[in-house]
Amino acid sequence: MKRILFAGDSITKGKLGCSFFVQLRKQFPHYELINLGRDGDTVSGIMARTIGHLKHDSRYDLIVLTAGHNDIILPDFNARSVAYKSIVKNLEKKGSIPAADLPEFISQYEKFISAIRSGGDVPIILTTLSCLNEDLSSPANGKRVVFNEAIRALALKNHLGLADIAQVYNTVLGAKETRDYFMDDLYESALFDTLRCRTSEGVDRLSRKRRLHLTIDGIHPNAAGAKIYSDLLSGLISRYLEETHPNKNWQEQTHPGG
């Protein structure tokens, strides 16, 4: 049985919002899919957990990495109220420390990729960052554009697969009337959103209540947002693991868009 490892943050974990991982598991029942996502994790934390995991379980046919959302988010949280700052401190105690800047983020990601490859020639897919507020003009999304350009360049430089989630999110949200909303009610999100997201109906009801299109809170995907992830990733998974044509170009052919 072929095995796929998904390493990343809360979007990979899928507890908040709709899980693209669950959708993929239904699409590939003949594969073993392992979820190594953790809420609030940064590229350094994801790297440490993944490399530690691979030391004990390295038999994978494909690895999918999603990292960077929290490297942008957590410094912003640290500039907010005491409640947000306490979240950052708790995450840092668990090893989720955000990169100081873009060069450090890319340096850490490069080390991550090199560490995986040192253990074997397993194919790797990177994903771009979906959105950090459905209002694409928000400051966080401005940083996301720069991070995504760097992730695309990193995938190209290292001959990795690329699921350009951001490009599709940008196209969809760019055609919608969006609002400036990003986890605005921390206590409500922390206490109730997980309960509301136990069913797909609850996820989309919450999204509609907040007048959002692809997320429940500006970042965690609803059913439509998760489908963007699963559609792009399922195509790449099929091409990597089910096609046998030589000289394949594994990059998703999409135009850069932030």
pLDDT digits (tens, 9 = 90+) for 106-115: 999 999 999 9
Residue 13 pLDDT level (bands cut at 50, 70, 90): very high
pLDDT band at 14 (very low <50, low <70, confident <90, very high): very high
- The tokens describing 147, both together, are 């991070």
Our measurement of the distance from residue 170's CA atom to the centroid of its chain's CA atoms, rounded to an integer in Å, reads: 15
Token representation of residue 66 = 């999603």
Asked if residues 64 and 31 have their Cβ atoms less than 8 Å apart, the reply is: no
Domain that holds residue 174: 3-241
- pLDDT for 120 equals 86
State CA 128 to chain mean position distance. Answer: 7
Please indicate, yes or no, if residue 255 is contained in any of the structural domains: no
Question: Model confidence over 59-85: pLDDT tens digits?
Answer: 999 999 999 999 999 998 888 878 778
What is the rounded CA–CA span in Å between residue 124 and residue 144? 21
148 near 237, Cβ under 8 Å?
no
Q: Is residue 254 part of a domain?
A: no
- Judge whether residue 2 has pLDDT over 80: yes
SS3 of residue 3 by DSSP: strand
CA dist 36 and 55 (Å) reads: 14
Which pLDDT value is given to residue 191? Answer: 65
Chain segment 25-64, per-residue pLDDT in tens: 999 999 999 999 999 999 999 999 999 999 999 999 999 9
151-209 pLDDT, tens digit per residue, is: 999 999 999 999 999 999 999 999 999 999 998 876 667 667 777 777 778 898 899 99
Stretch 136-153: mean pLDDT? 97
Asked if 4 contacts 60 with a C-beta cutoff of 8 angstroms, the reply is yes
Cβ atoms of residues 151 and 68 within 8 Å: yes
Q: What is the pLDDT of residue 190?
A: 62
CATH code: domain of residue 39: 3.40.50.1110
What dihedral do alpha carbons 47, 132, 229, 187 form, nearest 10°?
A: 80
CA–CA separation, 134 and 215 (whole Å): 8
Number of domains in the chain: 1
Mean pLDDT for all residues in the chain: 90
The answer as to whether 83 is a domain residue is yes
Tell me, what's the pLDDT at 134?
A: 98
The answer for residues whose C-beta is within 8 angstroms of residue 88's C-beta and 6 or more apart is 74, 77, 78
Cβ atoms 125, 64 nearer than 8 A: yes
Of residues 46, 51, 35, 52, the one with CA closest to residue 97: 46
Whether residue 153 is contained in a domain is answered as yes
For residue 184, being part of any structural domain is answered with yes
Residue 252 inside a domain? The answer is no
Residue 179 located in a structural domain: yes
Sheet holding 32-37, edge to edge: 32-37, 3-8, 62-65, 124-127, 161-163
Mean pLDDT of 213-226: 96
Q: What pLDDT shows up at residue 198?
A: 76
**Which two tokens mark 119?**
């253990």
Q: Rounded to an integer, what distance in angstroms lies between the CA atom of residue 171 and that of residue 113?
A: 29
Whether 70 is covered by a domain: the verdict is yes
